[in-house]
């Protein structure tokens, strides 16, 4: 299959990831089938698409008046048979539950054409385990978006053990066709690429606070105003080359002896969760979140991501 042969995409799931991917696919010109278990689920997904359209139009990321043509390409369906029949690519974004994914993929493979690509947006479940129920695992891959998919350009493309190289290549080209940036992995590993780095950073951040070396607030302040700014342009390896590889190698050798080796989640996170404090959604987590504080912080983050998207579009490689 060539990427130009992909005309119709099934987006399974209407939550945060499902509607975001549906928006990107429809914006790129694909016919989209948005699967939800009920009419209410589909309505929720389409409302999410409306929000993405409004955000893009209000911020000049696409021409005003683009919404109707995008929405016209999206058809809501409530059965997996309707979703999969005749499609070229399936994007699964249902609950992060192996039993649910097995149920969905078993049904989808039964109804989809033999040549269709079956992809999952899992953030951490094993591709080997997910694809174990498939009769054609060679046409399966991970295409992992980050939230919100329409403002976070990076998409991880990870093969399963049986995935054909040509299928992985088509998945990466399809991601590019959305205006997103594919990051191809050579083989599967738990957590893929970005979550492994993200949670290694979080583990050490928790360790620093638990040891009393700095507060959570100071850790956040430090990362946002140092590594966050540098890594927005140069990643860890390029930064090491630019800064002097011998310096980074020597420092890593020294620091590695004292970095956290914890293999369990930090009590800094587990203790609040055990009390029912789940973060902004409950009003308290590591921080207190009174009133509209969380909404204000999300808006500030969104504004920053929009600015990055405009920069990317100006460079001609993202958001088209």
Residue 255 pLDDT: 97
Per-residue pLDDT of 251-276, as tens digits, reads 999 999 999 999 999 999 999 999 99
Helix H segments across 36-186? Answer: 39-58, 67-72, 80-84, 98-111, 127-131, 165-177
Residue 315 pLDDT: 75
Indicate the pTM of the whole model.
0.95
Segment 209-224 mean pLDDT: 99
Per-residue pLDDT of 157-195, as tens digits, reads 999 999 999 999 999 999 999 999 999 999 999 999 999
> Does the structure show a pLDDT above 70 at 319?
no
**Beta bridge partners of residue 86, listed in sequence order:** none
Average pLDDT, the chain: 97
* 42 in Cβ contact with 36 (< 8 Å): yes
> Does the structure show a pLDDT above 80 at 204?
yes
When pLDDT is cut at 50, 70 and 90, the band that residue 320 belongs to is: very low
Which positions ≥6 away from 177 have C-beta within 8 Å?
A: 3, 6, 28
Q: Could you give the C-alpha distances from 290 to 81, 268, 283, 286, 294, in angstroms and in order?
A: 45, 20, 6, 13, 8
Alpha-carbon distance 134 to 130, whole Å? 8
Peptide bond into 170 cis (omega under 30): no
Per-residue pLDDT of 27-85, as tens digits, reads 999 999 999 999 999 999 999 999 999 999 999 999 999 999 999 999 999 999 999 99
Token representation of residue 212: 């009393």
Per-residue pLDDT of 36-48, as tens digits, reads 999 999 999 999 9
Residue 1 pLDDT: 84
> Does the structure show a pLDDT above 80 at 317?
no
What are the structural domains of the chain? 3-184 (3.40.50.720), 195-314 (1.10.1040.10)
Which positions ≥6 away from 296 have C-beta within 8 Å?
A: none
Q: In the block, which residue shows the tokens 């980050």?
A: 146
**Strands lying side by side in the sheet with 89-92:** 74-77, 31-35, 8-12, 89-92, 117-120, 140-144, 154-159, 181-184
Q: Furthest-apart CA pair in the chain: how many Å?
A: 59
> Does the structure show a pLDDT above 70 at 91?
yes
Segment 139-162 mean pLDDT: 98
* 44 in Cβ contact with 36 (< 8 Å): yes
Alpha-carbon distance 131 to 117, whole Å? 12
């Amino acid at each position: 299959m060539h990427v130009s042969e992909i005309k119709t995409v099934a987006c399974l799931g209407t939550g945060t990831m499902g509607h975001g991917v549906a928006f990107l696919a429809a914006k790129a010109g694909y016919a989209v089938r948005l699967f939800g278990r009920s009419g209410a689920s589909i309505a929720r997904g389409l409302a999410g698409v409306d929000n993405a359209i409004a955000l893009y139009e209000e911020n000049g990321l696409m021409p005003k008046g683009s919404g109707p043509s995008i929405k016209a390409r999206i058809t809501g369906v409530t059965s997996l048979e309707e979703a999969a029949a005749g499609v070229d690519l399936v994007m699964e974004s249902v609950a992060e539950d192996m039993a649910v994914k097995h149920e969905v993929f078993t049904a989808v493979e039964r109804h989809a054409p033999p040549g269709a690509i079956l992809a999952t947006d899992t953030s951490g479940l094993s591709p080997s385990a997910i694809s174990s129920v498939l009769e054609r695992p060679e046409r399966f891959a991970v295409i992992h978006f980050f939230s919100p998919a329409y403002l976070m350009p990076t998409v991880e493309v990870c093969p399963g053990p049986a995935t054909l190289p040509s299928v992985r290549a088509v998945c990466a080209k399809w991601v590019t066709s959305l205006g997103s940036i594919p990051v191809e992995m050579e083989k599967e590993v738990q957590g893929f690429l970005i979550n492994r780095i993200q949670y290694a950073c979080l583990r050490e951040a928790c360790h620093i606070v638990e040891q009393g070396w700095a507060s959570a607030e100071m850790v956040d302040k430090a990362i946002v105003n140092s590594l966050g700014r540098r890594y927005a342009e140069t990643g860890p390896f390029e930064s090491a080359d630019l800064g002097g590889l011998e310096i980074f190698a020597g420092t890593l050798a020294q620091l590695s002896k004292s970095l956290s080796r914890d293999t369990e989640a930090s009590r800094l996170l587990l203790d609040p969760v055990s009390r029912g404090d789940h973060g902004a959604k409950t009003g308290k987590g590591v921080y207190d979140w009174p009133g509209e504080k969380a909404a204000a912080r999300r808006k500030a983050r969104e504004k920053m991501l929009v600015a990055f998207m405009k920069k990317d579009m100006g460079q001609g490689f993202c958001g088209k």
